[in-house]
Structure 1
């Protein structure tokens, strides 16, 4: 069974709403019409009963010309109307004889006791009054058929049914036209979404105008695409990130083992090499855990974690000095943070150590043996770190590409590299909510700026 489309649902809902509303209104109109018509009929019968009293019972008291006028008015209202006048003994005294059915004594007594009464039965409306006269006490009953009211009621019902059918047809056609008009932005969005695949997640959907709920939905969807695109990029580059980060500890392990295997070693030397290898293995395990977190292949530990930025920086420098011993004289470190409490930050310190290490490694690679300055300071309530070198720099037209994995500038020359380190550092900063920016002038050097938001600082 095919699912009902939104357009058909809107048409059905609009038609049902119109039908129900019209039916309720029609019932109300019909009830008011019928009640008002009966009131008019009884009012006319009341007037006719008074005229009948003047014609039949006041003839001896009225002048001839006045009686004739009353008689003419009475005759003009007597179409399809019956009049019966009963005396105090319930005997029919006067009447025009148009209705053969006689009234029961109970009805007559009710009229005498109440002074007047009305009812409808057997297709007729009855109105009776008690009329005392010098000739005696009489009951005047006027009756008429309901044929006219029934005819008018049927015509009204027919008109309402026709109006309902015509209204439903109009509503269906109008609803389909309006739903098609309203559905056009949705169809346009679906067409755009269908063009998006795993290789084009960065293609956002153009939101419709005006700025309504659909506009907000598209913006939310675009935000989801951005997050999915980032996740796919991370996972797609996961192996490259792993190989980039693992090459140094693996080289250290293999180097130690190769040297160690060249000759017999003492027990003390066994312990020293084993310790160094275990340290590198633990380091690789930590790297793998952080890279899996970045790739979304592992969930982060629950709760808020924190780290000291200065401690993270010193640990990074220790690693740099171990792996770049010749660069130690080139590195200058400056710290200007008034309070030690400002150095404690919410976030993943191990990941940020990877990012800072990659940034400093890049600075040393392309510094051409020139000084590299690392400064940590507080500005406007925010902790900032700058890594500045005076090496080759980056051409202005290449700055926008450096965040991309595997991208390397045209001026790297024979310097080895994979183009992974900087993109991984940018990704880590993004996931740790650290602002990253870089400024560079070719042949004069580059400066990387890291800025932690004020709310992540633990006071």
Structure 2
């Protein structure tokens, strides 16, 4: 069943049950109140009957005449009887009534009054003491008027109930359509998204409810899927490029080398060239395996000095790069020496810092590189600044993605893995990693370490 139909059914049933219960309560309340009014009128008539028949010898004529007038007005369509202590009718209608028996008369003498309803009449009896003796006054009224009134109310309420139920269904249907319209809109937008347009965002309705949260979740999912497709595409390009170049060099050198006999020196040189390309392939595979393994690695079990790590990296870089034109300046501005000790995976953090600093060296255009160790809010902060080629705003959005390389790298060698690898390492070691950059002005990397 569709959500829209389910909502209509549930809301209709809910409101219908409430409406039916309210109607029943209203009818029963009216019925009970109407009965009470009838018995109150009979009680008044019962009192007037006793006064009219039994107080004639004690009241002045004019007052008794007035009582008689009131009695006649109130006793229209009402049968009155006055019983003596022998249960004989002494005044009023002399015909016997099977509903007025000895038990009920004795009950009234004992409890002073009694009211009940038979199949077609209302009865009210009361005890009346007079100088002539003790009497029981009974009055009886036909219930035709009462039934007519209650039956008419019942018909009206049934008609109102039917109209109300139909109205409730229509209103519930309209409300369900209004409530479902954002979901229908989302479904239409999702159906339009193809594999090539996963980056497309679903328009988020400003409903400030679960639907808005659901759309935001979907957008995040599509972003992750889009990133995954980009990574897969870049991975294929990366592997084909990184493996093709050394493999082509190996096969080409071997083909040329096999064309004629070679000297031992030439054999040694060829072996060195082939080994160099094999090592390049091996490094690429190791990097990919490390990147894959890091995603499930959560060990944080070492305490070490991060400044010592930076000095080790600074000593290793000159073996690979000529740093005379782009010297590295390390500035230590930490008063609390304990902040320099951090907890994490020493080897992984060293790899991540090495990749960051290596990128700064490669893209510095020979300008100096500054590494600052700062103390801020009782936390260690490392800022790595270069004044090189920088990163464009478009590239900066994707620079942490695996295998992504900026458009302005030119002929500088790289795999697009370094920043992605560093990002994963920093996340797993709870280190906040941010990059800011401006094209042709330089790049700044900020690392904020958690307290030990």
Which of 272, 297, 300 is equivalent to 2:296?
300
Give the secondary-structure state (helix, strand or coil) at the position aligned to 1:435.
strand
Structure 1 segment 72-83 matched on structure 2, within 5 A: 72-83=69-80
CA distance in 2, matches of 1:109, 1:189: 79
Q: Shift in Å at residue 171 of structure 1?
A: 1.8
- Give the distance between the partners of 1:68 and 1:342, measured in 2 at CA: 115
Task: Map 1:284-299 to 2 at 5 A.
Answer: 284-292=284-292, 299=295
> Pairwise mapping of residues 113-152 of structure 1 onto structure 2 (< 5 A)?
113-152=110-149
Of 197-206 and 233-242, more deviation after overlay is shown by 233-242
Is the contact made by 2:39 and 2:115 (CA closer than 8 Å) also made in structure 1? yes
**Superposed displacement of residue 77, structure 1:** 2.1
Query: Is 1:434 aligned with 2:429?
Result: no
Corresponding residue for residue 269 of structure 1: none
Work out the number of aligned pairs and report it. 420
Measured after TM superposition, the shift of residue 112 of structure 1 is 0.9
CA distance in 2, matches of 1:354, 1:289: 18
Alpha-carbon spacing, 1:426–1:301, altered in 2? closer, same or farther (3 Å): closer
Q: Secondary structure, in 3 states, of the residue corresponding to 1:452? A: strand
Structure 2 CA distance for aligned equivalents of residues 388 and 218 of structure 1: 41
Q: 1:148 to 1:227 in 2, by over 3 A?
A: same
Deviations 1:103-155 (A, max 9, x none): 21111111111222222233322211122223322111111233332322222
Q: CA deviation at 1:452?
A: 0.9
306, 309, 312: which one pairs with 1:311? Answer: 309
Q: Greater CA deviation, 43-52 or 354-363? A: 354-363
C-alpha distance in 2 between matches for 1:81 and 1:359? 110
What are the equivalent positions in structure 2 for 1:269-418 lying under 5 Å apart?
283-292=283-292, 299-304=295-300, 308=306, 311=309, 314=312, 318=316, 321-322=319-320, 327=322, 329-337=324-332, 338=334, 339=337, 341-342=339-340, 344=342, 346=344, 348-349=348-349, 352=352, 355-356=355-356, 359=359, 362-363=362-363, 367=365, 371-379=366-374, 380=376, 381-389=380-388, 393=389, 400-401=394-395, 403=398, 405=404, 408-409=407-408, 412=410, 415=411
Deviation for aligned residue 1:89: 0.8
Alpha-carbon spacing, 1:301–1:451, altered in 2? closer, same or farther (3 Å) = same
Q: Which structure 2 residues correspond to residues 28-43 of structure 1 after superposition, within 5 A? A: 28-43=25-40
Distance 1:280 1:320, change over 3 A: farther
Q: Distance in 2 between matches of 1:167 and 1:387?
A: 75
Give the distance between the partners of 2:338 and 2:250, measured in 1 at CA.
Answer: 37
Aligned 8 A contact 1:373 1:387 in 2: yes
1:8 has 2:2 as partner:
no
Tell me if structure 2 keeps the 8 A contact 1:253–1:280: no
Aligned-partner SS, 1:237: helix
Query: Is the contact between residue 331 and residue 371 of structure 2 (CA under 8 Å) also seen in structure 1?
Result: yes
Gaps of 5+ in 2: 266-271, 427-431
Q: Which moved more, 1:17-26 or 1:107-116?
A: 17-26
The 8 Å contact of residues 111 and 130 in structure 1, kept in 2 or not, is answered as: yes
- Residue 164 of structure 2 corresponds to which residue in structure 1? 167
Shift of 1:378: 1.9
**Structure 2 CA distance, aligned partners of 1:257 and 1:313?**
42
User: Residues of 1 paired with 2:331 and 2:394: CA distance?
Assistant: 31
The alignment yields a C-alpha RMSD, in angstroms, of: 4.2
Hey, what's the Cα distance between the residues in 2 that align with 1:252 and 1:449?
Answer: 37
Report the more deviating stretch, 99-108 or 124-133.
99-108
Query: Bigger CA drift: 115-124 or 312-321?
Result: 312-321
Decide which moves more: 429-438 or 20-29. Answer: 429-438
Partners of 1:252 and 1:385 lie apart in 2 by: 37
Decide whether aligned partners of structure 1 residues 226 and 320 sit closer, same or farther in structure 2, where only a CA change above 3 A counts. Answer: farther
Q: Which residue of 2 aligns with 1:53?
A: 50
The 1:195–1:242 alpha-carbon spacing in structure 2 relative to 1, beyond 3 Å, is same
Question: How big is each residue's C-alpha offset from its partner over 1:51-88, in whole Å with a ceiling of 9 and x where there is no partner?
Answer: 21123223333344433332232222223322121111
Q: Is the 8 A contact 2:371 2:382 kept in 1?
A: yes
Given that 2:309 and 2:350 are in contact with CA atoms closer than 8 Å, whether structure 1 keeps it comes out as no
- Report the Cα distance in structure 2 between the residues aligned to 1:350 and 1:241, rounded to whole angstroms: 24
| SS of equivalent to 2:205 | coil
1:263, CA displacement in angstroms?
Answer: 7.1
SS at match of 2:370: strand
Q: Give the TM-score, by structure 1 length.
A: 0.76
